[in-house]
Structure 1
Amino acid sequence: MMSNLFSSFDPSSNIFNIPLNWTSMTLSILLIPLSYWIIPSRMFMMWNIIINTLHDQFKILLLPNKTSGTTMIFISLFSFILLNNFMGLFPYIFTSSSHLVFTLSLSLPLWLSFMLYGWIKNTNHMFIHLVPQGTPPILMPFMVCIESISNLIRPGTLAVRLTANMIAGHLLMTLLGNTGPLLINSLLIQILIFTQMLLLMLESAVAIIQSYVFAVLTTLYSQEVT
């Protein structure tokens, strides 16, 4: 039962034996509003409002002298994860953001680039971060070990957080969906459909929240090395 349940997350999408597992990452480009219309659409104006709001949020988290174009990196990261999360909500589309190979490929290069920049450009600043201010001298060796471990597991926690949250809701929807053919009472079927609609709304909110959390945490990690 468990193997059949988790098999819904296997990358096995294909048409005419042609593997189409990761095409959902490119299909999301179709959802990006076009910017060359003479009169912008409502979707395009809403997207501009979201981008401007994110720019203001990330500008507060970053240093004042480091905001020239830097926020666009994290806005692009947020948009990419958000669109992939929403593509996974459509039926018969492979959920790429529910796999560690996708999330680790985003978090690991970013974290590694932050660490290389911090230790090469701001070595003393990185050493200071290993010992929080006000730590007693006897606890300094332990704090260095704890801070080093917490720093090393950051890309893993980013990847696992996004993957686990995307898998949890999808598994619950799959479990409830598999019980549909077994129900005979029409009232139970109506309750199941209503519950699935609520779960779909919850998953839409989770898709937005998790992409925002991923982008904000990445912004905070970049701010620590500058």
Structure 2
Amino acid sequence: MMTNLFSSFDPSTSFNLSLNWMSTFLGILFIPSMFWLIPSRMNFLWINISFTLHKEFKVLLGSKIKGSTLIFISLFSIILFNNFLGLFPYIFTSTSHLVLTLALALPLWMSFMIYGWINNTTHMLAHLVPQGTPPILMPFMVCIETISNIIRPGTLAVRLAANMIAGHLLMTLLGNTGPMLTLIMINLLIMTQLLLLILESAVAIIQSYVFAILSTLYSSEVN
């Protein structure tokens, strides 16, 4: 029995073990087969997805640093694996915790900022004042742009964690009402849960794409 509604997101809830975080690395078990088995339809699908992402990220990043799209494709892959693994029963959703999402967003943002301010200082200063800003509003715009720049890793991390928590929490709430319902209502509940599961699958893909594409946009601003 859960003592608290949010205890389902606690990594120490099940069996009192800290092995729940191992779900973060379960996706790695499925990767090596691509290198030694005959390519299957799943392999071809994943290659097409990676190639499509590479073309999209290349448009945003340009051709200044070759191979830079691989970083963001890898970021998309690890978030996508963890989001989907969290949809299986009794597997801990690591992307619903700020510990993991901040660990992904903060180092990326810090590296972009350090690189930008060291190598392109004039360009970074120009970004603080949007083009066409009246002189009287320039100090306020600098403050607003600085604050919006500082909270970027927080918004990246919170957006991913909040979206993962929201759907799982709704499914948990509806699932706990099952024993108290009639047979007709249970059938309706199962249909609702299936629709929510489809929605969560879409959210898992969309959120990993949003995280990767926003990281790409942030990196393109410092060049």
Bin for the TM-score computed over the shorter chain: over 0.9
Match of 2:219 among 211, 215, 222: 222
Alignment partner, residue 48 of structure 2 = 49
Identity of aligned residues (%): 72
Please state whether the residue corresponding to 2:34 is helix, strand or coil.
coil
Please report the TM-score for the alignment, with normalisation by the length of structure 1. 0.94
Contact 1:118 1:126 in 2 (8 A): yes
Q: Shift of the alpha carbon at 1:96?
A: 0.3
**Amino acid in structure 2 at the alignment position of 1:55:** H
Distance 2:170 2:103 in 1: 26
Please state whether the residue corresponding to 2:210 is helix, strand or coil.
helix
Distance 2:5 2:153 in 1: 28
Distance 1:198 1:38 in 2: 34
Contact 1:86 1:207 in 2 (8 A): yes
Q: Shift of the alpha carbon at 1:37?
A: 3.9
Moved beyond 6 Å, runs of 4+: none
**Amino acid in structure 2 at the alignment position of 1:167:** I
Contact 1:130 1:148 in 2 (8 A): yes
Alignment partner, residue 114 of structure 2 = 116
**Amino acid in structure 2 at the alignment position of 1:57:** E
Alignment partner, residue 19 of structure 2 = 20
Distance 1:31 1:38 in 2: 12
Alignment partner, residue 34 of structure 1 = 33
Q: Shift of the alpha carbon at 1:104?
A: 0.3
**Amino acid in structure 1 at the alignment position of 2:78:** F
Contact 1:33 1:44 in 2 (8 A): no
Contact 1:13 1:19 in 2 (8 A): no
Alignment partner, residue 212 of structure 1 = 209
Q: Shift of the alpha carbon at 1:3?
A: 6.2
Please state whether the residue corresponding to 1:91 is helix, strand or coil.
coil
Contact 1:33 1:43 in 2 (8 A): no
Closer/same/farther in 2, CA of residues 111 and 35 from structure 1, 3 Å limit: same
Distance 2:125 2:116 in 1: 10
Alignment partner, residue 175 of structure 1 = 173
Please state whether the residue corresponding to 1:84 is helix, strand or coil.
helix
Alignment partner, residue 151 of structure 2 = 153
Q: Shift of the alpha carbon at 1:20?
A: 0.6
Contact 2:7 2:13 in 1 (8 A): no
Q: Shift of the alpha carbon at 1:18?
A: 4.3
Match of 1:188 among 185, 188, 194: 185
Closer/same/farther in 2, CA of residues 124 and 131 from structure 1, 3 Å limit: same
Distance 1:38 1:158 in 2: 36
**Amino acid in structure 2 at the alignment position of 1:197:** L
Consecutive unaligned residues in structure 1, runs of 5 or more? none
Consecutive unaligned residues in structure 2, runs of 5 or more? none
**Amino acid in structure 1 at the alignment position of 2:29:** L
Distance 2:184 2:45 in 1: 39
Distance 1:18 1:127 in 2: 49
Please state whether the residue corresponding to 1:21 is helix, strand or coil.
helix
**Amino acid in structure 2 at the alignment position of 1:117:** Y
Please state whether the residue corresponding to 1:35 is helix, strand or coil.
helix
Q: What is the total number of aligned residue pairs between the two structures?
A: 222
CA RMSD of aligned residues (A): 1.5
Please report the TM-score for the alignment, with normalisation by the length of structure 2. 0.96
5 Å-filtered alignment, 1:84-99, equals: 84-99=82-97
Q: Shift of the alpha carbon at 1:36?
A: 3.0
Q: Shift of the alpha carbon at 1:31?
A: 3.0
Distance 2:164 2:41 in 1: 28
Match of 1:72 among 70, 73, 85: 70
Q: Shift of the alpha carbon at 1:29?
A: 1.4
Closer/same/farther in 2, CA of residues 126 and 19 from structure 1, 3 Å limit: same
